[in-house]
Amino acid sequence: MQRSHYCELSPLKTDTTDQTDNTNLESCIGHTIILNGWIKKIRRHGAISFLNLRDRYGEVQLTIDTEQYPSLGPAVEQLRLEFCIAAQGIVQLRPENMQNPLMHTGKVEVFTEQLEILNSCEPLPFMLQKEKDQVGESDGGEALRLKYRYLDLRSEGMQKRIILRHRLKHQVHEFLHQNQFLEIETPTLIRSMPEGARDYLVPSRIHTGKFYALPQSPQLYKQLLMVGGLDRYYQMARCYRDEDARGDRQPEFTQLDLEMSFVQGQDVRQLIEDLMCSIWHKVLGPKQSRKLSRPFPRLSYQEAMNQYGSDKPDLRNPLQLQDFAEFAENSDFGLFRQCLADSAKKGCVKVLVAPKAGEYCSRKVIAELEDEAKKYGAKGLAWTRVGSGSFDGGIGRFFQEQFTAISQRYGLQAGDVLFFGADHWTTACEALGAVRKKLGTALNLIDKDTFAFAWVLDFPLFLPTDKEANDTGTANTGWAAAHHMFCMPHPEYIETMEQDPGAVRGNIYDLVLNGYELGSGSIRIHRADLQERIFDIVGYPKDIAQERFGFILEAFRHGAPPHGGFAIGLDRLAMIMAGKDSIKDVIAFPKNNLGQSLTDLSPGKVTPEQLAELKIAPLPEQK
Ligand code: ASP
């Protein structure tokens, strides 16, 4: 508990303890102290009441005897949970049989002599201290936690996570400062710039009809800082993306954004790896940091997809995808053969062996896994079980002749189950990757106690798009930037990239942790001519590129240095470090899944006068 003096209690008379040692109450035994905090628990036994008083530093028992101090009676009567109070009393050792070993301060109590109610609290909408700090559905669930976020923030779990987040950020500052990085803020009212999502727009009052956008990331500003000679920049940047509610996303989030000049991709990755290890060491402690295996494994995008069916593979999961083309070709299973023959679609056949999964994989489970595969575009999910000496069920009958060869090749044992993906390469990999993920959890193959970092490198620079024209105003060329438009292609692709954009690999790298994409970055383009060619491929011909991105092209023509950088999702990082699976648990005031803040009820209506000032008129409501 924090000993403090903000209250109107009469001043301390007998306190002689060292004021700086204010968290260790045992060292205060015999001294009078003042505590401020909230009431977590009340037990009344006749004239004696026990209160558990809580603040962010901890919790302690106040013992109140109204026989000895009758003047405390009326206040004690009024006390309810979460009242904010101040108490003055003597710290004393509890009798041995009254000590509570489960409580950090369980050996002592504060025998209260004065009490002041600083504020009352209405009946609580939910109980703050629940098992694992979760407010269950019966309590109104998440909506209630968000509405009364200030109450939820008082809970021990939320406070621990907010503190963890602070310590994480503190270590980032410390580490980057020691490595000559400068923290520089970039504007949050900027020009609309496509970076994968829809922009949030802010109307300009002075420039009627014109809009600022909130940054999806500080990408171009950090590149301009490099042109400005301020190499080694970083910032904990607030970023905004107007996306449809999907999974665990927030419309505003925090990125640890950084950029360096005169570096190669490996320099950026080395720095990030050192940073992660220092964070683990300083924030989670040496025991956790020893679990990190360095260097972090590196996989190309191609390898990640081929082996794990994901560009953010969870390497704690030992299951791997393997190629099955050789056996598919030799079989008379038409579907697989057709798929392989379709070279235009880059068809492939892959297999995933689930060891000893025979019992678990009932028809119902297989149907569920098939549904999962279909979410990634697969038309179905072929499977078979390994029996003794033959395949058993599913598509096994097409492969009986090759049973021995297949068994030897994949080290099969009776009881294993095989799942197949046969499709366009991306679909086959991703669908089987989703099955791998589900099975990893269901078969308990994941060691939850480890942290598996990995680098995924050399992503495609462009992805095919079949959109007519997207909301960023580009013309439809059939290609969009896979990451963003400022990433450097690997040199071997530059000369001919217009001929086959889909084949171009970029100097783009992602950091993955336990199956989450933690961050991504790239070496950037720093020459205007190359940047213009990229703009052109993704649908910004020269004149439009000049109109929208003239400023960056011009900067590139003024001695822009080679540079590259990275951005880490800070919320996600804090979430994984806290052992949670929702970023809402590490954000003080998150939005709900519909992008609303239930705390202040934003977005909210504005007055007609506010709109008139901006010269904005709402469209008539559509029926
Ligand atoms: N701006 C990029 C993003 O937000 C990160 C980077 O390339 O540095 O994904």
Task: Choose the residue to mutate in 257, 311, 459, 552 for probing ligand 1, maximizing ligand atoms within 8 Å of C-beta.
Answer: 257
* Atom 6 of ligand 1, nearest CA residue: 521
Give the residue among 213, 211, 212, 205 at the shortest CA–CA distance from 615: 205
* Separation between Cα atoms, residue 402 and residue 411, nearest integer Å: 14
* Separation between Cα atoms, residue 408 and residue 388, nearest integer Å: 14
Q: What is the pLDDT of residues 33-56, one digit of tens each?
A: 999 999 999 999 999 999 999 999
Q: Of how many residues is the chain composed?
A: 623
Measured in Å, residue 220 CA sits from the centre of ligand 1 at: 10
pLDDT-derived band of residue 4, with 50, 70 and 90 as boundaries? low
Q: What is the pLDDT of residues 324-340, one digit of tens each?
A: 999 999 998 999 999 98
| Mean per-residue pLDDT, 217-226 | 97
Q: What is the pLDDT of residues 517-545, one digit of tens each?
A: 999 999 999 999 999 999 999 999 999 99
To the question of whether residue 45 is assigned a binding role by annotation, the answer is no
To the question of whether residue 242 is assigned a binding role by annotation, the answer is yes
To the question of whether residue 195 is assigned a binding role by annotation, the answer is yes
Q: What is the pLDDT of residues 548-603, one digit of tens each?
A: 999 999 999 999 999 999 999 999 999 999 999 999 999 999 999 999 999 999 99
* Atom 8 of ligand 1, nearest CA residue: 566
* Atom 1 of ligand 1, nearest CA residue: 219
Task: Choose the residue to mutate in 483, 518, 523 for probing ligand 1, maximizing ligand atoms within 8 Å of C-beta.
Answer: 483
* Separation between Cα atoms, residue 374 and residue 364, nearest integer Å: 15
To the question of whether residue 241 is assigned a binding role by annotation, the answer is yes
Task: Choose the residue to mutate in 186, 484, 487 for probing ligand 1, maximizing ligand atoms within 8 Å of C-beta.
Answer: 484
**SS3 label, residue 109:** strand
Task: Choose the residue to mutate in 216, 509, 520, 572 for probing ligand 1, maximizing ligand atoms within 8 Å of C-beta.
Answer: 520
- Locate the ligand 1 atom nearest the alpha carbon of residue 257 and give its number: 8
Q: Hey, which bits of 514-560 come out as E strands?
A: 516-523
Measured in Å, residue 521 CA sits from the centre of ligand 1 at: 5
- pLDDT for 25 equals 85
> Could you give the angle at which helices 156-178 and 265-279 cross, rounded to 10 degrees?
140
Q: What is the pLDDT of residues 365-406, one digit of tens each?
A: 999 999 999 999 999 999 999 999 999 999 999 999 999 999
pLDDT > 90 in the chain, percent = 84
- pLDDT for 2 equals 57
| Mean per-residue pLDDT, 261-266 | 98
To the question of whether residue 56 is assigned a binding role by annotation, the answer is no
pLDDT-derived band of residue 17, with 50, 70 and 90 as boundaries? very low
Measured in Å, residue 507 CA sits from the centre of ligand 1 at: 13
Q: CB within 6 Å of ligand 1 — which residues?
A: 217, 219, 484, 520-522, 565-567
To the question of whether residue 569 is assigned a binding role by annotation, the answer is yes
- Locate the ligand 1 atom nearest the alpha carbon of residue 487 and give its number: 7
Residue 196: pLDDT over 90? no
CA 5 to chain centre: 39
| Mean per-residue pLDDT, 278-306 | 95
Measured in Å, residue 509 CA sits from the centre of ligand 1 at: 10
pLDDT-derived band of residue 18, with 50, 70 and 90 as boundaries? very low
| DSSP assignments along 113-178, one per residue | EEEEEEE--PPPSS-SS-GGGPPPGGGTHHHHHHHTHHHHTTSHHHHHHHHHHHHHHHHHHHHHHH
